[in-house]
């Protein structure tokens, strides 16, 4: 920094320029507080470096996750397309969409399930028929028992003492209740 003293005040602009030059020169000289401490600068750089590393790690992690998801989606799509292709091959290429696949093309698994359902239906019908026969036979046994009870009652009370109305009443009562 240079200080020039002008003895004559004849040129006020020159004095002003000199003062501005001094101010500018002073701004260029670093103040002690403006000089960065090496320890602080290293730790600050390390903090910045760490945060950048963390950011990079996070970015890489997100990228890997996105790639995994894309791979899974592509695998699922490939499986769906393979299933569709196998259905086309089984049906001779007549399948147009997934809706028509169910109505037109019958897979072996569906055929097996249909056969099993028909067999089960037949066996249930036979069981129902057998239950109906069993029910009818039990009903006939109960009817015979009731008629026998009426006969026994009539015999025990005495046929002579009962009128036809009373016999009909007993028979009706035991038969329907």
pLDDT surpassing 70 at residue 70: yes
Q: Is 91 exposed, middle or buried (0-12, 13-18, 19+ CB in 10 A)?
A: middle
Please give the model's pTM, rounded to 2 decimal places: 0.29
Residue pair 107/86 in contact (Cβ under 8 Å)? The answer is: no
- How does pLDDT run across 108-131, given as a tens digit for each residue? 888 888 888 988 998 899 999 999
Question: In angstroms, rounded to a whole number, what is the distance separating the alpha carbons of residues 48 and 54?
Answer: 10
Q: Between the ranges 17-21, 45-49, 173-177, where is the mean pLDDT highest? A: 17-21
CA angle 171, 176, 177 (to 5 degrees): 100
Question: In angstroms, rounded to a whole number, what is the distance separating the alpha carbons of residues 95 and 89?
Answer: 9
pLDDT surpassing 80 at residue 174: no
Residue pair 9/15 in contact (Cβ under 8 Å)? The answer is: yes
pLDDT surpassing 70 at residue 168: no
Mean pLDDT, rounded, of the chain: 73
CB atoms within 10 A of CB 104: 13
Residue pair 59/67 in contact (Cβ under 8 Å)? The answer is: no
What pLDDT is recorded for position 124?
Answer: 92
Query: 105 or 81, which is more confident?
Result: 81
């Amino acid at each position: 920094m240079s200080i020039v003293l002008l003895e004559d005040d004849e040129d006020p602009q020159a004095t002003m320029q000199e003062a501005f030059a001094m101010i500018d020169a002073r701004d260029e000289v670093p103040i002690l507080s403006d000089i960065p401490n090496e320890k602080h600068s290293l730790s600050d750089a390390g903090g910045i470096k760490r945060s950048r590393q963390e950011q990079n790690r996070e970015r890489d992690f997100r990228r890997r996750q996105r790639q995994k998801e894309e791979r899974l989606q592509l695998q699922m799509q490939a499986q769906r397309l393979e299933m569709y292709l196998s259905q086309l091959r089984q049906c001779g290429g007549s399948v147009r969409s997934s809706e028509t696949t169910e109505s037109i093309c019958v897979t072996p698994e569906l055929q097996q399930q249909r056969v099993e359902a028909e067999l089960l239906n037949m066996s249930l019908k036979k069981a129902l028929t057998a239950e109906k026969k069993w029910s009818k036979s039990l009903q006939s046994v109960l009817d015979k028992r009731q008629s026998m009870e009426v006969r026994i009652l009539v015999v025990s009370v005495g046929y002579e003492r009962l009128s036809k109305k009373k016999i009909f009443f007993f028979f009706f009562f035991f038969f329907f209740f």
